[in-house]
Amino acid sequence: MILYPAIDLKDGQCVRLYKGAMEQATVFSDDPAAQARAFVAAGCEWLHLVDLNGAFAGHPVNAEAVESILAAVDVPAQLGGGIRDMATIERWLDRGLARVILGTVAVENPELVREAARAFPGKVAVGIDARGGRVATRGWAEETEVQATDLARSFEDAGVAAIIYTDIDRDGAMQGPNVAATAALALAVSIPVIASGGVSSIADLIALKGSGAPLNGAISGRALYDGAIDLGAALAALKD
């Protein structure tokens, strides 16, 4: 199971939100590239990047910060936030991203997800962010009636590389991930699932790994910045 350290970008800085609220952002670094280098030095094999401003604006906002990260490290990185058309997908992949994450458009324009997955095999993931099992879009500001599992199943034949499943009510709250819901989603589809939201200890990672579902990985942010998770120790624990 892969551990994806998260670098969430707001106004060019590395931040973490509390339950997705932009007004409850804690700044952890004003040098995203240096933060990326620190994660890689500790042994991470992937990075998870989010353009928070972009998620609300509907187009990339923190491109300069993302590009500084891509220039600073040589591990693959995936990015979500404000990627809502084919031109933006192509542009990011051309700039060295290993994978783009499509969230809002997965609900509003699912055919774009299918088109992108066909055009760029292995490089398109779907971000499913949910409150109480229902999908939220546009930076989590708009709730839909779409069930997370139904949305995931709708892409079974699309060729997407992964699903990043975030339980919004756990995100940044340091209360542990929703292991049951994440495992249930992973068991409901054949697409690899990455857990996100609430991972705050090595015990949480071990619980996800031992959930009985074939999870591809887990994303952690605040716990790594706060020191609640030692990245090196966590990576070692997941390899055992």
**Residue 157 among the catalytic residues:** no
How much is the pLDDT for 127?
95
**Residue 230 among the catalytic residues:** no
How much is the pLDDT for 17?
77
Sign of the C-alpha dihedral, residues 228, 127, 151, 214?
A: negative
How much is the pLDDT for 157?
95
What are the pLDDT digits (tens) for 150-183? 999 999 999 999 999 998 876 655 678 999 999 9
Q: In the CATH hierarchy, which top-level class contains the domain 2-233?
A: alpha beta
How much is the pLDDT for 173?
52
Q: Which member of 8, 167, 171, 204 is catalytic?
A: 8
Cβ neighbours of residue 105 under 8 Å, at least 6 residues apart?
Answer: 83, 84, 112, 113
Q: Which three-class secondary structure string do you get for the chain? A: CEEEEEEEEECCEEEEEECCEEEEEEEEECCHHHHHHHHHHCCCCCEEEEEHHHHHHCCCCCHHHHHHHHHHCCCCEEEECCCCCHHHHHHHHHCCCCEEEECHHHHHCHHHHHHHHHHCCCCEEEEEEEECCEEEECCCCEEEEEEHHHHHHHCCCCCCCEEEEEEHHHCCCCCCCCHHHHHHHHHHCCCCEEEECCCCCHHHHHHHHCCCCCCCEEEECHHHHHCCCCHHHHHHHHHC
Query: Phi/psi at 119 (nearest 5 deg)?
Result: -75, -30
Q: Which member of 31, 85, 94, 129 is catalytic?
A: 129
CB 195 within 8 Å of CB 207: no
- Residues of the chain where predicted confidence (pLDDT) is lower than 50: none
pTM of the model: 0.92
